[in-house]
A and B are shown apart, each in its own frame.
Chain A
């Protein structure tokens, strides 16, 4: 088993007849760095939800880290996300009142890691993303690029099978954005499977593999 993501014939349609994703086949192997690229409305976000097990397909099968999503209960999907999937969002989603270590440690809360161990691993992850000197800062004291690094540290602290980044540079200037992409590349070099979802062809073209999407289909 070398495929971390395996989609076959996946369709997602919503009540009211909107079909966001249409019979998509996609497989990503462990250790890959892949970009799903397409304009808004192309079904990228739905792909993220399906691969991230936040939503279930209407048709077809989704297998993540060897688990068929259709056979898992909501609780089991939660456990899968807690241990095997890391998310990075365009809006960072950091808790404003809490320091950087506490924010990153929250990423391990639902994986059953004891508190001291969570903090230890959070610090290690922050050092890994280059924020070793910002441990006691709060999100509002950081730049946008630094905030996204915190979010990435939270996603990788649990050493997930796959890191899903949804428009990770969408709220950043080009220099910070480039830095974040560089960080994702470094993490990939160190062995993490990374899937970036972006509308930015420039970013996508810099990555080893692109999956272009248009109107809910892989083209």
Chain B
């Protein structure tokens, strides 16, 4: 008769590993919980960061990354420079520029009523705006209407989102001894936050009523996406050919991209914390398995007498450890996904958990289960059957 040990089928092995866990369900759940918390933390960190990025990307896609702004810098002697009046029309003539528009800072303060003390300016800027401002900066109206050729000549204002909130959404505002009617309110403008806290008036009205000098202080331009860098290079000399070094050019979407990079750094830090939690969970599983082997010496002896090989005993305990951590890993991935979903819903972000995070979470638990279970399983297999039976 040929003596060869029978192989255990995969389903027998799974059942065998499962019976060990079912015998002490509370212990199994608690040690799986350690793994679950670690994996949940990591999944949620990756998920929330990915969701935030998806939101930023969505915002960038909606806003476009092809906007450049031109502002006056300072002269060699440290005084504020200014942009020539014709700079906007000069910029419009650059080939790849799609549109160019400007606002000009007006030296005036705006108040809700004539009863507000003059010192309480509320930090609101008054900007003269050209009529094509909205389409170039990507702004939308929250209510009312934008200035038109007629209202741009008269005392009419459009409020930025923050300005409207700070003034309390008034029907009229008071400026330089005159009542101005509010014709519209803007929605927040992500790429030009200075507009949010501004009160916008027509170019001509600014000149007529507020002695505006007509110099643009910020020029917003949109260029063909592929030519943005080239346009950026020629903007300063075009805007102010005499003093090109007194012109500052920036790309507002760069700030959003930088924010994304900053997020990534923070995510790496949090991931490290999650990994520590996972490590502690893994140690918990190892501890549970060591205790399990010590307690179940009699079972090991019995199984050896029933004909289990050393390898089969080892595989049984290893399977048990893998199942334990997989249980934790699956629960953790699920929990992490739920946390991500919950958080991004409250932030009205899209919920994004990258596939690699899910697969990585499960893969990490398999690795942890194997490492944590290996030593206890080897100890169980090394136990001499006579010794194991004697300890009962």
* Chain A residues engaging chain B, CB cutoff 8 angstroms: 49, 52, 54-55, 65-67, 72, 74-76, 78-83, 85, 87, 89, 91, 93, 95-98, 106-107, 109-115, 154
23 contacts between A and B (CB under 8 A): A65-B1, A72-B3, A74-B310, A75-B5, A75-B309, A78-B309, A78-B312, A79-B3, A79-B6, A81-B305, A82-B5, A82-B308, A87-B302, A89-B302, A91-B392, A93-B392, A96-B23, A109-B12, A109-B16, A110-B6, A110-B8, A110-B306, A111-B307
Whether A82 pairs with B306 at a CB distance below 8 angstroms is yes
Which of A74, A79, A107, A110 gathers the greatest number of chain B CB atoms within 10 Å? Answer: A110
List B1-20 residues whose CB lies under 8 Å from chain A: 1, 3-9, 11-12, 16, 19
Expressed in whole angstroms, the Cα–Cα distance for A44 and B386 within the complex equals 13
Whether B309 pairs with A97 at a CB distance below 8 angstroms is no
Expressed in whole angstroms, the Cα–Cα distance for A106 and B12 within the complex equals 10
Expressed in whole angstroms, the Cα–Cα distance for A131 and B9 within the complex equals 29
List B103-118 residues whose CB lies under 8 Å from chain A: none
Enumerate chain A residues within 8 angstroms of B379, measured Cβ to Cβ: none
Q: Which of A74, A83, A106 contacts B309 (CB 8 A)?
A: A74
With A54-B389, A95-B299 known as contacts, the answer to whether A106 contacts B5 (CB < 8 A) is no
Whether B392 pairs with A107 at a CB distance below 8 angstroms is no
With A54-B386, A95-B19, A98-B19 known as contacts, the answer to whether A79 contacts B299 (CB < 8 A) is no
Enumerate chain A residues within 8 angstroms of B4, measured Cβ to Cβ: 75-76, 79
With A75-B309, A78-B5, A79-B6 known as contacts, the answer to whether A91 contacts B298 (CB < 8 A) is yes
Closest to A114 in B: B9
Is B304 interfacial (CB-CB < 8 Å)?
yes
Chain B window 304-338, contacts with chain A (Cβ cutoff 8 Å), 1 for yes, 0 for no: 11111111100000000000000000000000000
Is B385 interfacial (CB-CB < 8 Å)?
yes
Enumerate chain B residues within 8 angstroms of A114, measured Cβ to Cβ: 9
Expressed in whole angstroms, the Cα–Cα distance for A194 and B386 within the complex equals 20
Q: How far is the CB of A176 from chain B (nearest CB, A)?
A: 20
Which of A93, A95, A114 gathers the greatest number of chain B CB atoms within 10 Å? Answer: A93
Closest to A82 in B: B307
Judged by DSSP, the binding face of B is: helix
Whether B306 pairs with A76 at a CB distance below 8 angstroms is no
Which of A79, A83, A111 gathers the greatest number of chain B CB atoms within 10 Å? Answer: A79
Expressed in whole angstroms, the Cα–Cα distance for A93 and B1 within the complex equals 29
Expressed in whole angstroms, the Cα–Cα distance for A81 and B306 within the complex equals 6
Is B22 interfacial (CB-CB < 8 Å)?
yes
Enumerate chain B residues within 8 angstroms of A52, measured Cβ to Cβ: 305
Whether A87 pairs with B305 at a CB distance below 8 angstroms is yes
Expressed in whole angstroms, the Cα–Cα distance for A78 and B306 within the complex equals 8
Whether A54 pairs with B19 at a CB distance below 8 angstroms is no
Whether A78 pairs with B23 at a CB distance below 8 angstroms is no
List B334-392 residues whose CB lies under 8 Å from chain A: 384-386, 389, 392
Whether B389 pairs with A78 at a CB distance below 8 angstroms is no
Expressed in whole angstroms, the Cα–Cα distance for A96 and B298 within the complex equals 13
Enumerate chain B residues within 8 angstroms of A111, measured Cβ to Cβ: 6, 307
Enumerate chain B residues within 8 angstroms of A106, measured Cβ to Cβ: 303, 306
- Extra contacts besides A79-B307, A91-B392, A112-B6 (20): CB < 8 Å: A49-B385, A55-B384, A75-B310, A75-B311, A78-B5, A78-B308, A79-B5, A79-B6, A80-B3, A80-B307, A81-B306, A82-B6, A82-B308, A87-B305, A89-B389, A93-B298, A95-B299, A109-B308, A112-B7, A114-B9
Enumerate chain B residues within 8 angstroms of A54, measured Cβ to Cβ: 304-305, 385-386, 389
Expressed in whole angstroms, the Cα–Cα distance for A114 and B12 within the complex equals 9
Enumerate chain A residues within 8 angstroms of B308, measured Cβ to Cβ: 78, 82, 109-110
Q: Which of B7, B307, B312 contacts A83 (CB 8 A)?
A: B307
List B272-297 residues whose CB lies under 8 Å from chain A: none
Q: How far is the CB of A126 from chain B (nearest CB, A)?
A: 17
Expressed in whole angstroms, the Cα–Cα distance for A154 and B305 within the complex equals 12
Whether B23 pairs with A49 at a CB distance below 8 angstroms is no
Expressed in whole angstroms, the Cα–Cα distance for A79 and B12 within the complex equals 17
Whether A78 pairs with B8 at a CB distance below 8 angstroms is no
Enumerate chain B residues within 8 angstroms of A109, measured Cβ to Cβ: 8, 12, 16, 306, 308
Expressed in whole angstroms, the Cα–Cα distance for A109 and B14 within the complex equals 13
Q: Which of A91, A93, A115 contacts B11 (CB 8 A)?
A: A115
Q: How far is the CB of A32 from chain B (nearest CB, A)?
A: 21
Q: How far is the CB of B380 from chain A (nearest CB, A)?
A: 14
Closest to B8 in A: A109
Q: How far is the CB of A124 from chain B (nearest CB, A)?
A: 18
Enumerate chain B residues within 8 angstroms of A93, measured Cβ to Cβ: 298-299, 301-302, 392
Enumerate chain B residues within 8 angstroms of A72, measured Cβ to Cβ: 3
Enumerate chain B residues within 8 angstroms of A110, measured Cβ to Cβ: 5-6, 8, 303, 306-309, 312
Among all A-B residue pairs, the 7 with the closest Cβ atoms: A82-B307, A112-B6, A110-B307, A76-B3, A78-B309, A81-B307, A54-B385
Expressed in whole angstroms, the Cα–Cα distance for A191 and B54 within the complex equals 76
Which of B8, B306, B311, B385 gathers the greatest number of chain A CB atoms within 10 Å? Answer: B306
Q: How far is the CB of A78 from chain B (nearest CB, A)?
A: 4
Expressed in whole angstroms, the Cα–Cα distance for A89 and B307 within the complex equals 15
Expressed in whole angstroms, the Cα–Cα distance for A11 and B89 within the complex equals 111
Q: How far is the CB of B363 from chain A (nearest CB, A)?
A: 30
